[in-house]
Amino acid sequence: MKIVMQLFKAKNQLLSLISPTKAASQAVSIFLNPRRSQPKTWELKAETSGQRFKLNQQVSAIRWAPESNDKQKKQVLLVHGWESRATQMYGFVPKLMQQGYEVVAIDMPAHGLSSGVRSDAKQFSESILLAERKCGKFDIIIAHSMGAGATSHALANGLSSDKLVLISTASSIETVLNRFGRYIGLNAKATQSFVNQVGEEVGTKASEIDSITMAQSNSIPTLFIHDRFDYEVPLSEAEKLLPLFNNSDIFITEGLGHRKILKSQLVMDKINSFVLSTSTSAV
């Protein structure tokens, strides 16, 4: 696998020198077309324990509801990251249901059971806002990676919630794009062309949907969770956002990386404690 990646990078390095625009165009096609993978056995069990429904013709969602529901419905929204799906967030569901919460999770466009082949951060954000319109206000939103960044963008566009948990979040979509360009071997000129072309495809410049520019006046109690050794989205990304959320705290793990963090009992316990807290503080 390492040899294949090295060859792929070498090809992009060469094409970047010959035709930066073409190299960037090929990178856009890769970046905006998320890969789908087969769900694990535990995800299939999670699927059968929930109820599927459509937010619209394209976007599928799943709901897990406790057996005894209070008259006053309490809701949590789970938002997955890039190339993930709703059921991969299931680890948080059992404890939330024990606390009487109905849990809704979205399959973003071109992810999971939702249709489409292309997706982007803007579509993520629009799907979150669609979920609120269809299901009502969510008391708590728990989001991972690109889903966390999209949640920040949705908040700036009218999304409401009482508490937020943002896991492995990036502060800047533009930073993500630049990192991706460098990772696949694009030179500086091709990477800039890649960033510009993504903006043209999406219809919005990356800088216009950056969390770091959208979160200036956010006072919702927010818990950031990030691993010290996350090599996909560095811890420094969350640390940049922390001061911009006026009522926030950060929980730093070690050795969980970018994805195992969703399965950690330590993380689940921390979120459970945060959810149970009646304080308006994020601590």
Q: What is the percentage of the chain residues whose pLDDT exceeds 70?
A: 92
Residue 210 has pLDDT above 70, yes or no: no
What are the structural domain ranges in the chain? 47-172+210-276
Q: What is the pLDDT of residues 93-144, one digit of tens each?
A: 999 999 999 999 999 999 999 999 999 989 999 999 999 999 999 999 999 9
Q: Which residue has the higher pLDDT, 20 or 205?
A: 20
CA distances to 135, 185, 197, 249 from 139, rounded to whole Å, are: 11, 42, 37, 18
Mean pLDDT of 176-193: 91
Q: What is the pLDDT of residues 50-107, one digit of tens each?
A: 999 999 999 999 999 987 655 678 999 999 999 999 999 999 999 999 999 999 999 9
So what's the architecture of 47-172+210-276 in CATH? 3-Layer(aba) Sandwich (3.40)
**Average pLDDT across the chain, whole number:** 90
